[in-house]
């Protein structure tokens, strides 16, 4: 089993010394550099071509404010400045997802024992975000989390566990604070 296959399966894998993973990261970083620094903001078609190369999947209508990294996007996706996505495992955003500045989505984690951690080993667990979700500024979503449909995650929250449909959630750790009602 390759290190990439281990990564995609959520197993411990060599994130720092595997040639295939290092090459893929370099290609992604080059594309991000091109997107962020070489293409004018007015060249939307060129920007979207690069984003479609970077992301595993996109729909047609999306807006990404640079800088940006790798992801799968739903329709009417919007991310503001300084969003970070570590996508060792799949990260999926549904339709009508809005992300405020300085948010992070982290699929990667590290072993607790220093010997394996210092050897460069890590794991990755997928993040799934449903439709009609709004993330306030400074939200951080941890590995393996699923966020349902019609959800608001309040600014500054750290999401460590799944969040159900139709709720407002807040805090560190993030917890449901109320259902969304008319």
* CATH classification of the domain holding 148: 2.160.10.10
Model confidence pTM above 0.85: no
Cβ atoms 83, 99 nearer than 8 A: yes
pLDDT over threshold 60, residue 67? no
The structural domain count of the chain equals: 1
CA distance readout (Å), 65 to 44, 46, 141? 11, 14, 19
Which residues are known to be catalytic?
110
Domain of residue 112, residue span = 3-179
Taking the CA atoms of the chain, what radius of gyration do you get in angstroms? Answer: 17
Tens digits of residue pLDDT in 15-57: 778 999 889 888 888 988 888 788 888 888 898 888 888 876 7
């Amino acid at each position: 089993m390759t290190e990439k296959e281990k990564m995609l399966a959520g197993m411990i894998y060599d994130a720092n010394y595997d040639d295939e993973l290092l090459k893929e990261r370099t290609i992604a970083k080059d594309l991000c550099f091109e997107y962020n620094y070489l293409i004018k903001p007015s060249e939307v078609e060129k920007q979207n071509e690069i984003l479609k190369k970077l992301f595993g999947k996109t729909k047609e209508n999306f807006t990404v404010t640079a800088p940006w990294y790798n992801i799968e996007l739903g329709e009417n996706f919007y991310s503001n400045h300084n969003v970070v996505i570590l996508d060792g495992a799949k990260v999926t955003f549904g339709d009508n997802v809005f992300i405020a500045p300085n948010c992070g989505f982290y699929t990667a984690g590290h072993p607790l024992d220093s010997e394996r951690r210092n050897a460069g080993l890590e794991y990755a667990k997928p993040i799934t975000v449903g439709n009609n979700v709004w993330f306030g500024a400074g939200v951080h979503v941890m590995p393996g989390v699923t966020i349902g449909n019609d959800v608001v995650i309040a600014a500054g929250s750290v999401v460590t566990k799944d969040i159900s449909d139709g709720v407002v959630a807040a805090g560190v750790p993030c917890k449901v604070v109320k259902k969304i009602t008319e």
